[in-house]
Amino acid sequence: MSFWGSRFFKRFHGLINSIAKPAISLIWPPLCQACECSIDDPDEKLCRDCWQDLNDSVARNYCKRCGSDIDKYSESAQGCDFCSKINFNFDGVARVGNYQGCLKNLILQLKFSGRSELAVTLGEYIDASLLGSFNDEEIDFFAPVPVHWTRRISRGWNQSFLIARNIKHFDAKTKNLLIRTRRTRPQPGLSFAQRRKNVKNAFKIRNSSSVQDKTICLIDDVRTSGATLDECAKVLKQAGARRVLAAVAATAGGSSSRKSGTALKYWD
Ligand SMILES: [Zn+2]
Ligand SMILES: [Zn+2]
């Protein structure tokens, strides 16, 4: 399309948009993406309550090593109460917030209610969290945590892949670097130790030459114990990755749930 053609198209599109949007919102009022209450401004994604809830969650201090909530003035370079005695294969975690309220609603609806468009919203939020936590890191690839192919067929997609594809972070590209080789037990109800055992050797690399000396950022919707991220990071490091980071929409669990034998209630 020529320059003038493109300018005409943009003006025409803008005119139609300014007429159509109010008309559409009269017939089809915009809804909050998280709680589905009606909202006044069609350009907003969340209602005021959900927006406030999201902001409260984002503002909480978290451990940059594992992503768990920590006190406002705590230092976390050596890890927090949850992670300081655990050896992880990943080198840091960025997160949007904790697994509750608005974020929890968005994740559950993306995962189980067929609302794939929410991956755009969660991708934008994760991008903002990456800028806050790993701004100095040159990330080569975003690697979605894979689900087993049978689960992908029954759910329709891998939510982590959809989220990763919607993160626009410098030159980083999204690549399915890992495969889940077997179905693992659903994680809710499993203790920390059981989760580690459950995902042990459940992943393999697709092409090890593609990760040599690269900085990879794993993408997942929720980090609970960190067992899944850790197992994925182990495979990437064994294949030659230089650094493995992780970015998640939310973290659940923490110091109180690490004790062996305590069942974790969330998805990993
Ligand atoms: Zn809402
Ligand atoms: Zn920690």
Q: Kindly list the protein residues that place their beta carbon closer than 5 angstroms to ligand 1, a single-atom ion.
A: 32, 34-35, 47, 50
Distance 264 CA to ligand 1 centre (A): 27
pLDDT value at residue 261: 40
Nearest to 96 by CA among 221, 188, 217: 221
Point out the ligand nearest to the CA of residue 54: 1
End-to-end CA distance of the chain: 47
Point out the ligand nearest to the CA of residue 31: 1
Distance 65 CA to ligand 2 centre (A): 5
Give 13's pLDDT tier (boundaries 50, 70, 90). low
Amino acid at 89: N
Distance 42 CA to ligand 1 centre (A): 13
Point out the ligand nearest to the CA of residue 77: 2
Confidence check: pLDDT of 268 > 90: no
Point out the ligand nearest to the CA of residue 67: 2
Structure tokens at 50: 């959900």
Handedness of CA 111, 90, 188, 198 (dihedral sign): positive
17-26, 203-212, 229-238: lowest mean pLDDT where?
17-26
Average pLDDT over residues 163-188: 90
Point out the ligand nearest to the CA of residue 66: 2
Give 77's pLDDT tier (boundaries 50, 70, 90). confident
Average pLDDT over residues 75-99: 89
Distance 81 CA to ligand 2 centre (A): 7
C-alpha 243/C-alpha 267 separation (Å) is: 25
Distance 32 CA to ligand 1 centre (A): 5
124-128, 166-170, 175-179, 238-242: lowest mean pLDDT where?
166-170
Higher pLDDT, 26 or 163: 163
Point out the ligand nearest to the CA of residue 251: 2
Confidence check: pLDDT of 25 > 70: no
% of the chain at pLDDT higher than 70: 83
C-alpha 80/C-alpha 75 separation (Å) is: 8
Nearest to 118 by CA among 102, 130, 107, 126: 107
DSSP track, 81-136: TTTTT---SS--EEEEEESSHHHHHHHHHHHHS--TTHHHHHHHHHHHHHHHHSTT
Confidence check: pLDDT of 76 > 80: no
Average pLDDT over residues 90-102: 95
CATH 3.40.50 applies to domain 62-257: yes
Distance 80 CA to ligand 1 centre (A): 32
Distance of CA 54 to the CA centre of its chain: 15
Distance 30 CA to ligand 2 centre (A): 39
Confidence check: pLDDT of 258 > 70: no
Structure tokens at 136: 């100095």
Confidence check: pLDDT of 21 > 50: yes
Average pLDDT of the chain is 85
Q: 């889940």: which residue's tokens?
A: 180
Distance 179 CA to ligand 1 centre (A): 35
C-alpha 121/C-alpha 163 separation (Å) is: 8
97-106, 109-118, 160-169, 178-187: lowest mean pLDDT where?
178-187
User: Using one digit for the tens of pLDDT, what is the confidence trace for 104-157?
Assistant: 999 999 998 989 999 999 999 999 999 988 878 899 999 999 999 988 888 888
